[in-house]
Structure 1
Amino acid sequence: MSKQFNYTTSERRSSVVYSTSIGKGGLYTPADYIPTDEEENVFRELQDEEISEYPDGEENERDLEDNPLLDTHNSHDSSHLRATSEDYTTDANYGSVRPNGLVRSNSYNKGLLDEQRDLLIDNKLLDKSRRQPRGQLLLDEIYGTTEQTVSTSEEEVVNVWEDAVDNGKPIKSSYQREAQVLAFNALPLIFTFVLQNSLSLASIFSVSHLGTKELGGVTLGSMTANITGLAAIQGLCTCLDTLCSQAYGARNYHLVGVLIQRCAVITIIAFLPIMYIWWFWSESILATMIPERELCHLAARYLKVTSFGVPGFILFECGKRFLQCQGIFHASTIVLFVCAPLNAFMNYLFVWDKHFGIGYLGAPLSVAINYWLMAFGLLAYTLFTKNDNNPLKCWNGIVKGNQVFKNWKKMFNLALPGIIMVEAEFLGFEILTIFASHISTEALGAQSIVATIASLAYQVPFSISVSTSTRVANLVGASLIESCILSCKVSLLLSFVCSSFNMFIIFTFRSKIASLFSNESAVVELVVSTLPLLACMQIFDAFNASTAGCLRGQGRQKIGGYINLFAFYCIGIPMSNYLTFHCNLGISGLWLGISCALIAMSICQSYAVFHGDWGHIIQAAKIRNAEGR
């Protein structure tokens, strides 16, 4: 059994991936992806290039002197800084890279130590008076103080834990303990993800009362914007998840700023031809797939207005990763707490207000403005935060033009897997939208409403999934196999309880829910007839999310990714097409096909979770943790 929870960190649960997508197929996000050897090599090449930019080591030396976690008693001698990337290796405690040979102080993740303390108390190996209030952990994370030097009581926790390991004393969890931890960690995420989801919900809700065609237009426009623009942007920016985190861990703070600016410039330039297509060709391209020409016209107008806000979205995505690589995970959450209510207000103001309202185009205008507000919100946080990490240390001003236009190919090679992973899910739901458009305009409007309700209901089990992945990963790092299995079981139980509640709400209030979104009787009737199927789907949707979280915690997300892609594209979409057009089931056929995919995902992922080789899982975690030590 390992001496510490050193597989992952609890801050991961606070990371927010913003998206306006109303679809979700359970596919794995790039943030769950473990860097491959190829990605490590890309970083080493960039690291070598950056070191060559400063042959005297001045930049790195200044950064090292400012870092309290490193022993810099020899910092006056810069000769030890003239190194290649071979002198930097992975440090699992920091999730990044540290210089070999440099001495770190005894700094541990406070959240993981609190989890150790609770387990020791439950197993009567530590006195109850040592228990740390769990609310304090959340406050510490919000104010960026999760990494702290071990105090006397924390040293005692480490010593007792190591003594239990050395003497073979069993450390087991309980159903009550796992339920408490998973629920506590998931609770703040539920609020965050609901706010995140409300950004797209506001547009659908405000436009749906204008008419069926307007609802279909905003649905088609937003989905097209996602698949052709926003998804690719998110995927392209995922290269920063690896590169910036490793550069920051290597204490090469200047490189973090260079990478952020380089990625932002690349992404904006890559979007320019897409923006041109949105403006001049989108209507004719959509007309080749969508029979209703008026819907294509409305969708094209949506894309034109939204395009003005996309550069702000790009800056937000890059800025979010600029802060997250420095361990500042709550900045995007704080921004969403401000921007989500503003977005709802702007939708009302620009769509319905008698003095400022402009009707249908008010929805994309709200989206465009909101993108820029989110970018400026992160900028304001970066400039004025009092966080101990001081994010501005990674900003050394606007870089030279020759640096911005270097190594584009390397960044694209690293970002390509992320683009494919993000695009896969968006493309799947774009296909379902196209299917619905071939039924009728009313069916397309009803499909957008049902998808919005499904996405909103998914936020609770998804929050449990994120909490589960962190908890299971920590237990895997501590080699507590029995506790891992118990945590996976509790996650399924919690998901069942939450999905049962969702099922009851959707089924019982289906008529009232449908009438909230539309005044068109034909659309309301279609939504009401489909919601019972959506209610039954909640059980499998939650099981899919829970088992996916377990697989991520085990470090086996590739298996989950293969299962998801197979179930979604080989079962879900073909079944939706067959049931909708050959069995004449309408939009109910679309969701019945997706339900079949979710059932397959749940069964296959559950088997993979509980029938995996735990010895291999533990060993793989130890190997990852041992790299660079």
Structure 2
Amino acid sequence: MTKQFTHTTMDRRSSIVYSTSVGKGGLFTPADYIPSEIGNSALEEESDDAGEGTATRKGKALHGRPEEYQSLLDANNSRTLQREAEVNGTVTEHSSSTEDGTLSAASLPKKLIDEERDLLIDNHILQGRETLDTTSSAANNYGSTEPEVVVDTWEEALENGKIITTTYRREGEVLACNALPLIFTFILQNSLSLASIFSVSHLGTKELGGVTLGSMTANITGLAAIQGLCTCLDTLCSQAYGAKNYHVVGLFVQRCAVITMLAFLPIMYIWVQWSETILSWLVPEPELCRLAANYLKVAAFGVPGFVLFECGKRFLQCQGIFHASTIVLFVCAPLNALMNYFLVWDKRIGIGYLGAPLSVSINYWFMAIGLFVYTIFTKQAVKPLKCWNGVIKPHQVFRNWRKMINLALPGILMVETEFLGFEILTIFASHLGPSALGAQSIISTIASLAYQVPFSISVSTSTRVANFIGASLYQSCIKTCTLSLLLSFACSSMNMLIIFLFRKQIAGLFSTEPEVVDLVTSALPILAFMQIFDAFNASTAGCLRGQGRQKIGGFINMFAFYAIGIPMAVLLTFNFNLGVGGLWYGITCALIVMSVCQGYAVFHCDWNEIIDAAKSRNSETVRV
């Protein structure tokens, strides 16, 4: 994704670290829940253990003399910016900072300069590549290079109170271009579970119910919590990398991996030994419990690989390398589909039902190995190994681990909220019988797959809104949010038509059982109607993330889902005998409430307060 407006003057730095969760909510960013001084103090303490650089040691020697330390830090950062500008191909004709300490065009990426120039041209402040607005003093000093002219004109326009705003056409192009690759990435990651359900669904109704219950239990008790725990690295590693403490990044990643694995060893043991007994307390069908327990026993061996993949993904992302996990998924997702076919259906090597969890477990390890190979052999200008300082020492594993957990707990809470909600609905479906549970599995899979398009727009929106807030251009934020809703409505309308018109064909793809197909076909019109509000929910959630108001979205999410959605689902399913369709009526009611409340919060807010909060948050980060 493009990173517009992220490194101009210090006041205009973008404020967002967007979520990398694959959960539908995606409403968490740990940095917005935990005071930044926690992360900052952790960095200061870690530097001593990891073998800090010269500037850090001098900083400790200068403790008590903050002015001298700040001057040294500024000088070190200035030199580092210049070196990175040369490596990354940014403009290097001038020094990386001006006399007053603000960043100049020399330290800015060319894409950022182009973005600002295009917006200045759109607003008739800059008339072209060489002709400037006559009211700009930069026009009288055209001896400098074009990037310097763009930066000077931009800064002068803001100082003079000129309104710089975007256009609906430009925002449509940016949101669409940023969302398109994300759609493929999210679909590929979602396809891991989709392949298992698709392959097992043709074995029979009970097998489909077993893989549904098993995969949902694995998500709620393991994978979702792992994703939430690893979000602490989004804050810690990003702050360490931004502070040029590269060696600390590798230390944080290793510590998180070790702590996460140790934390989930008891859960893995429960999956292997006691899962059938515990599930039998909640689900009345013994055969479903047995099949789900067998799924968990095999899936447990893939958990360490999943932990390493999540930690490795964040190790690269904090360095600005976002495409590595996509490359790995482009290999592993098709491989997972092939392995599902051979391990489930092939007459020579197939093992039936257990082939599905075995395929997923193996591919979790392949995904981790793929990121490792990329890190070692990549030819990219940004060398990720500069953040690796060797294997963590035993005494470093549990140093400051409480601070890491404090950062991780909000992420775990927000990820688990929606996963737990769908697990509850799955348990409700199990009380309706194996066919209803199988139908619920298929409908959930279709809903998740359809959600990837609006969710991609949501992530693109959150980044764009945060960019504009970092640049103090809230008028442009309003246009971006409005256009995001329009794009989401267009995409959801297409999803709605496809699901409604081809509901029989879609149901037939997942199952050959007549009862299951009939249940899915009857419930898909409800799912089709739900697409409108699911997309609005995603879009407004993205706007709230961009505004840095994830807490509001989180509270709305929890209230709508647990106070309205689930109670309505129980009432309509069991009291009014609407069956599986009642579950989805309840979810639709929750999404309507979420869309209305989040939409109101987005467009009825104090934009100046949001911008001031972003400036304050960024000024705290700079002090790391």
Correspondence list, 1:433-512, <5 A: 433-512=426-505
1:349-391: CA deviation from partner (whole Å, max 9, x where unpaired): 1111122211101100110001000000000010001222211
Aligned 8 A contact 1:461 1:542 in 2: yes
1:250-294: CA deviation from partner (whole Å, max 9, x where unpaired): 222222222211111111111111111111100010001001100
Check if 1:41 corresponds to 2:38. yes
1:303-343: CA deviation from partner (whole Å, max 9, x where unpaired): 01111111101111111111112221211111111111111
Identify the residue that residue 521 of structure 2 maps to in structure 1: 528
AA partner of residue 420 (structure 1) = L
Distance 2:513 2:33 in 1: 49
Alpha-carbon deviation of 1:459? 0.7
Task: Give the 3 Å change call, closer, same or farther, for CA 110–547 of structure 1 in structure 2.
Answer: farther
Aligned 8 A contact 1:208 1:518 in 2: yes
Check if 1:344 corresponds to 2:344. no
Task: Give the 3 Å change call, closer, same or farther, for CA 36–600 of structure 1 in structure 2.
Answer: same
Identify the residue that residue 141 of structure 1 maps to in structure 2: none
Check if 1:553 corresponds to 2:553. no
Task: Give the 3 Å change call, closer, same or farther, for CA 124–259 of structure 1 in structure 2.
Answer: same
Distance 1:103 1:281 in 2: 54
Q: Helix, strand or coil: the match of 2:339?
A: helix
Task: Give the 3 Å change call, closer, same or farther, for CA 110–566 of structure 1 in structure 2.
Answer: farther
Check if 1:6 corresponds to 2:32. no
Check if 1:121 corresponds to 2:121. yes
Distance 2:337 2:584 in 1: 28
Check if 1:379 corresponds to 2:378. no
Check if 1:589 corresponds to 2:582. yes
Correspondence list, 1:319-358, <5 A: 319-358=312-351
Distance 2:388 2:304 in 1: 20
Distance 1:266 1:322 in 2: 16
TM-score (norm 1): 0.86
| Paired-residue identity, % | 67
Distance 1:404 1:83 in 2: 28
Aligned 8 A contact 1:27 1:564 in 2: no
Range with bigger deviation, 102-111 or 493-502: 102-111
Distance 1:538 1:401 in 2: 50
AA partner of residue 244 (structure 2) = R
Task: Give the 3 Å change call, closer, same or farther, for CA 223–126 of structure 1 in structure 2.
Answer: same
Distance 2:290 2:607 in 1: 55
Check if 1:426 corresponds to 2:419. yes
Check if 1:216 corresponds to 2:222. no
Alpha-carbon deviation of 1:53? 3.4
AA partner of residue 29 (structure 1) = F
Aligned 8 A contact 2:15 2:548 in 1: no
Alpha-carbon deviation of 1:164? 2.1
TM-score (norm 2): 0.87
AA partner of residue 213 (structure 2) = L
Alpha-carbon deviation of 1:244? 1.7
Q: Helix, strand or coil: the match of 2:601?
A: helix
AA partner of residue 126 (structure 2) = L
1:104-146: CA deviation from partner (whole Å, max 9, x where unpaired): 2432244443322221121233345589xxxxxxxxxxxxxxx
Distance 1:85 1:363 in 2: 60
Distance 2:592 2:117 in 1: 38
305, 309, 332: which is aligned to 2:298? 305
Aligned 8 A contact 1:187 1:463 in 2: yes
Range with bigger deviation, 436-445 or 415-424: 415-424
Matched positions, count: 575
Correspondence list, 1:210-359, <5 A: 210-359=203-352
Aligned 8 A contact 2:276 2:293 in 1: yes
Aligned 8 A contact 1:7 1:473 in 2: no
Identify the residue that residue 191 of structure 1 maps to in structure 2: 184
Aligned 8 A contact 1:3 1:161 in 2: no
Aligned 8 A contact 1:503 1:538 in 2: yes
AA partner of residue 503 (structure 2) = R
Distance 1:334 1:241 in 2: 20
Identify the residue that residue 144 of structure 1 maps to in structure 2: none
1:156-184: CA deviation from partner (whole Å, max 9, x where unpaired): 32122123223333322222111111111
Aligned 8 A contact 1:5 1:474 in 2: no
- Where does the alignment leave 5 or more consecutive residues of structure 1 unmatched? 65-74, 92-97, 132-150
Distance 2:111 2:330 in 1: 24
Alpha-carbon deviation of 1:103? 4.4
Q: Helix, strand or coil: the match of 2:108?
A: strand
Distance 1:201 1:269 in 2: 29
Aligned 8 A contact 1:30 1:421 in 2: no
AA partner of residue 540 (structure 2) = T
Distance 1:340 1:277 in 2: 28
Alpha-carbon deviation of 1:623? 2.2
Check if 1:402 corresponds to 2:395. yes
Task: Give the 3 Å change call, closer, same or farther, for CA 159–382 of structure 1 in structure 2.
Answer: same
558, 578, 589: which is aligned to 2:571? 578
- Where does the alignment leave 5 or more consecutive residues of structure 2 unmatched? 83-95, 97-106, 132-143
Check if 1:616 corresponds to 2:612. no
The Cα RMSD (Å) is: 2.6
Distance 2:209 2:465 in 1: 42
Identify the residue that residue 392 of structure 1 maps to in structure 2: 385
Task: Give the 3 Å change call, closer, same or farther, for CA 120–352 of structure 1 in structure 2.
Answer: same
Task: Give the 3 Å change call, closer, same or farther, for CA 85–353 of structure 1 in structure 2.
Answer: farther
Task: Give the 3 Å change call, closer, same or farther, for CA 532–447 of structure 1 in structure 2.
Answer: same
Alpha-carbon deviation of 1:579? 0.6
Range with bigger deviation, 515-524 or 315-324: 315-324
Identify the residue that residue 28 of structure 1 maps to in structure 2: 27
AA partner of residue 331 (structure 2) = V
AA partner of residue 34 (structure 1) = D
Q: Helix, strand or coil: the match of 2:284?
A: coil
Alpha-carbon deviation of 1:435? 0.5
Alpha-carbon deviation of 1:557? 1.3
AA partner of residue 6 (structure 1) = R
Aligned 8 A contact 2:343 2:355 in 1: yes
155, 162, 166: which is aligned to 2:155? 162
Q: Helix, strand or coil: the match of 1:214?
A: helix
1:62-96: CA deviation from partner (whole Å, max 9, x where unpaired): xx7xxxxxxxxxx9xx64464669979xx9xxxxx
Aligned 8 A contact 2:468 2:477 in 1: yes
Identify the residue that residue 135 of structure 1 maps to in structure 2: none
Task: Give the 3 Å change call, closer, same or farther, for CA 52–556 of structure 1 in structure 2.
Answer: same
Range with bigger deviation, 111-120 or 239-248: 111-120
Task: Give the 3 Å change call, closer, same or farther, for CA 80–292 of structure 1 in structure 2.
Answer: closer
Task: Give the 3 Å change call, closer, same or farther, for CA 416–537 of structure 1 in structure 2.
Answer: same
Alpha-carbon deviation of 1:480? 1.9
Alpha-carbon deviation of 1:101? 5.6
Aligned 8 A contact 2:312 2:371 in 1: yes
Distance 2:514 2:210 in 1: 18
Task: Give the 3 Å change call, closer, same or farther, for CA 317–99 of structure 1 in structure 2.
Answer: farther
Aligned 8 A contact 1:433 1:447 in 2: yes
Aligned 8 A contact 1:213 1:445 in 2: yes
Distance 1:80 1:4 in 2: 22
Task: Give the 3 Å change call, closer, same or farther, for CA 173–405 of structure 1 in structure 2.
Answer: closer
Q: Helix, strand or coil: the match of 1:368?
A: helix
